[in-house]
Amino acid sequence: MRTRALFLFFLMLMAPLVSASEVGFSQENALGMEGLNIRTGEVSPNGSLIILVGDEGFIHIISTTAPGDRSQDQSIDSKRSARFNDVSWHPNGETALIAGDLGAALRYSLADNSVEAVNGAGILGSTELSATSWRAGGDLAFFGAKNGNIYSFNEGEGLVQLENTKSTEITDIACHLEQNICVVSSLNDGLAVLDRTREITWLDGTSSDTWVAADCSDGSYPKCAAFASGRRHISIVLNIQDASKSTTGQVMQLQQGSTDFIAASRGFDGTSLIHLAPMESVRYKVDDDEVFMHVESDAITSYNPEIAGQSIAFMWEIGEDDGWMMTNEGSIVQIFPVESYQSLGIMETIVFAAVAISVPGVIIGLIFMNSPYLQRKYRQLRGFEKKD
């Protein structure tokens, strides 16, 4: 038993060290439209479609699993020239809300590819809308504006302006996947939660950061996260019974790199993919409040400097490190995992060479010490013992 354990130990020493996986890139067929500035997108609830929105009334639908196949695209004529800033599918996947400049509070219908103003949009005037999201139950949605206003929406009531809003841009609205509670991020007024009754509670101690994005990526945890300029992030622990009593964790900071958080996409398996300017991304895991690199700027620059000069508009995955990113100019890049082996330094190389040389002798010695037959043969060869 001791011999076997030592043998396995030496085999482990000789095995190569494997580092964390890296990602590779492969360029897909681009959208091929001139003058694009895509702002964001969202995967449909059934996982088959992505709706993209952007400048000049841009709305476009592509396949999630074959995003380079232009024959599967649907170009949507919004009949508008306003900039569209955000989009959110209804949980049933039949319609999507769009938030944009010039009071653009719109509803897209998948059945006939129509786009129309939502009920009550007249109260907006030329208000610039920056964010929108349906909550889990599908009974209510929210719009956020660049002037700090927050509106609720359902078809019966139309748009209703909520009380207790602030004065700086609402940068994101993220709703929990299972509970009818949402998180709001603002440019300079901090973070807030929206409860089931549409009450807004601003979270203490969050107004000193410039929050640019929020996400509630894992429905199994009563937690969301928000991301701020300076590569800072914070977890928000939701109080399901009384959302006004929700709390925040400690503000953390990503130490790697020098780029900055600008937006968020939903990653695989309850994670968030945070975009950094100009061309990087990190993965955030809500369960342990951990952030680590996903796509590094040096890697994408080495792959294609032209792509590296664009910015990430949207990302999506079908597996960990297995997905795509859409740039603001309509380029599509597949991302896939590549296992890399950790390189060894001079000292490690010397040590492993010594081990490689000595291990066979050690193994032979162990076998000899545990074999009475071999020991007897050795004594006979040396003349210490007469042959039978």
- Domain architecture of the chain: domains with CATH: 1-19+341-388 (no CATH), 29-336 (2.130.10.10)
Q: What are the pLDDT digits (tens) for 204-216?
A: 999 999 999 999 9
* pLDDT, tens only, 260-274: 999 999 999 999 999
Task: Tell me what pLDDT residue 257 has.
Answer: 74
Contact 218, 156 (CB under 8 A): no
Q: What is the pLDDT of residue 195?
A: 97
Alpha-carbon distance of 182 to 238, in angstroms, equals: 9
| Res 295: pLDDT | 95
The token pair that represents 10 in the structure block: 């030496």
Output the pLDDT for position 375: 61
CA distance readout (Å), 301 to 27, 30, 259, 279, 309: 13, 18, 14, 9, 8
pLDDT range class, residue 5, cuts 50, 70, 90? very low
pLDDT digits (tens, 9 = 90+) for 52-93: 999 999 999 999 999 999 999 999 999 999 999 999 999 999
Exposure of 18 in the CB half-sphere (CA atoms within 13 A): 7
The residue ranking higher by pLDDT, 316 or 364, is: 316
Residue type, 154: N
Hey, what's the torsion of the CAs at 22, 36, 73, 60, to 10 degrees? Answer: 100
- How confident is the model over 230-279, as pLDDT tens digits? 999 999 999 999 999 999 999 999 987 779 999 999 999 999 999 999 89
Considering the entire predicted model, what is its pTM? Answer: 0.83
